[in-house]
Amino acid sequence: MRKVIQKPVRDLIRQLSKEFNIPYGTAEEIIDSQFKFLKHAIGQGVKGDYNTFETVLLRRLGTFEASEAKIDHMTSKYLKKQSDGEGQ
């Protein structure tokens, strides 16, 4: 199955590939490794204890941080989708 990559990320990969004269696939792996690291860092947080989530800065992509308000907002949207039957 092919990965779906958002256009801004595809454009960034293409730009980095040209800038550093590396194959597109290599640039894609580099960017992908940042998201793997982000997933790992988020996974280390303890559910319900917002202070245990690390703030991660990904160059050119921005800062990813957890706050009680953000997580509550995402949780309520997720639960609403589940109750509407869209999440199945």
Domain spans of the chain?
7-84
Give residue 65's pLDDT.
Answer: 85
Conformation bin of residue 4: beta by default, left when phi > 0, alpha when psi is -120 to 50 = beta
Q: Whole-model pTM?
A: 0.57
Residue 48 Cα distances to 3, 25, 33, 34, 58, angstroms:
31, 38, 27, 25, 24
Mean pLDDT (the chain) is: 85
- pLDDT attached to residue 86: 60
What's the pLDDT tens digit per position in 44-72?
A: 888 778 788 888 988 877 888 888 888 88
